[in-house]
Structure 1
């Protein structure tokens, strides 16, 4: 190699190294707003901090986290259109995460847009068919639409994956009761309580089911126990009062 060529390589390497260091520092500077977004506590603080941080973030994963954090904060603030826009951005960045569709589904559902909510719930099931939460979410949307048999099928699918999920037993029990299968509902509520005695909603639902079955003694026992932990529940108190007057 000619000496002149070898000599002029050293400055070039130095410039390249300086360029790489400068680019790295620039990237770090651009992402410096992320910690304030990450550490914000209240929903308004999250919106403010993440809004400041997002334009400067160049790291794709940090962008996902910032959009997710701000989107969830918008849901908490009931600003559903803004939340949906953030979840749209999330899905454009990474359309392979079922949870992102699930979050957007919830925003659509809270807004009352059940058609879009169901489309997102379907997408989440396609992306994560082995996870119970996607079936629960879709079952809830079906319930919103009055499609109770579809809800029960989804809750049952979730229970095939997570048979020890007390919440899914309560969800399915509620729908069974609405369809008139009171004994099936009682079985689900009882299983929920066997799995988690602290799941007090199961006590209320089972107590109301016992009322329908004409079993006032068991209804009173469940509703009284439920009201010990939820004394402000007017519906349960009214049901107990009616039983007591008979």
Structure 2
């Protein structure tokens, strides 16, 4: 009886640490949340939710490899956890492995076929490996599921532009910007499409809009990229 009581006590303590971690996660105190989830898992290594939430917290502080390991643990415990597959795909994409990400998006969509973001992000990953026709199909699916999905319009525009159709790509960028006027990438990508069509002044305006938004975001890498585009147009 004593061992059973101790085991039950451990499970309760694990749940307490899990709940504490969840509160800290909501407060965006990610490092403290991770410590709480560590303690929960020390006491009960079968808590899929603790692995899942810890993985999210790790991803928020840039610990992508460690976050993937936590997603692995969730999927071992619950192979049908669609969001764990989805999150692992996002992490793989961030680490520059779009092909590996696609396999996880496949699983996420199989488990949750109404997830517009999974289709959109799989489309983005397919763009990254040159599968632009397939990317368009995924973006189409995302837009059918969520007609207000600005990122899906932007990604579909990228696909069309890569396939040599900047004019029709602009229509998708227009839609993305209409849905989200602060969509930095859509302004930037529309500028690229207009540049391809020889619409230099219009392209400059889009690049300037993108630059203003990038400055507000504090995205130095994107700012540098856009400034080079503007300089090239000025000197060209």
Is TM-score (shorter-chain normalized) higher than 0.5? yes
- Assess, with a 3 A threshold, how the Cα gap between structure 1 residues 216 and 54 changes in structure 2: closer, same or farther: same
Whether 1:54 aligns to 2:41 is yes
Which residue of structure 2 aligns with residue 243 of structure 1? 233
Pairwise mapping of residues 61-80 of structure 1 onto structure 2 (< 5 A)? 63-80=47-64
Is the 1:33–1:56 contact (alpha carbons within 8 Å) kept by the matching residues of 2? no
Match of 1:182 among 166, 184, 187: 166
Note the C-alpha offset of 1:189.
0.5
The answer to whether the 8 A contact 2:52-2:74 is kept is yes
1:202-239 Cα offsets, whole Å, 9 max, x none, are: 11111221111111221122222232232451222222
For residues 189 and 171 of structure 1, the distance between their equivalents in structure 2, rounded to whole angstroms, comes to 9
Q: Which range moves more in the overlay, 64-73 or 20-29?
A: 20-29
For the residues of structure 2 that align with 1:219 and 1:31, how far apart are their CA atoms?
A: 55
For 1:119 and 1:31, locate their aligned partners in 2 and report how far apart those are by CA, in whole Å.
32
- In 1, distance between residues paired with 2:98 and 2:81? 21
Which of 225, 229, 232 matches 2:213? 229
Runs of 5+ unmatched residues, structure 1: 1-19
Cα distance in 2, alignment partners of residues 143 and 28 from structure 1: 47
Runs of 4+ that moved beyond 6 A: 20-26
Compute the TM-score of the two structures, normalised by the length of structure 2: 0.82
Q: 1:29 to 1:52 in 2, by over 3 A?
A: closer
Kindly state the Cα deviation for residue 67 of structure 1 after the two structures are TM-superposed.
Answer: 0.7
Tell me how far apart the structure 2 counterparts of residues 230 and 115 of structure 1 sit (CA, whole Å): 28
TM-score after normalising by structure 1: 0.79
Q: Deviations over 1:163-218 (max 9, x none)?
A: 21111111111121111110111000111111221223211111221111111221
Q: Which residue of 2 aligns with 1:135?
A: 119
Q: 1:173 aligns with which of 142, 154, 157?
A: 157
Structure 2 counterpart SS, 1:143: helix
State how far apart, in whole Å, the 1-side matches of 2:79 and 2:103 are: 14
Question: Mapping of 1:120-159 within 5 angstroms?
Answer: 120-159=104-143
What CA RMSD, in Å, does the superposition of the two structures yield over aligned residues? 2.8
CA distance in 2, matches of 1:26, 1:122: 37
- Verify the 8 A CA contact 1:33 1:57 in the aligned structure 2: no
Structure 2 spans left out of the alignment, 5+ residues: none
Partner of 1:107: 91
Change in 2 beyond 3 A, CA 1:115/1:223: closer
Shift of 1:122: 1.0
Report how many residues are paired. 225
Q: Conserved in 2, the CA contact under 8 Å of 1:34 and 1:57?
A: no
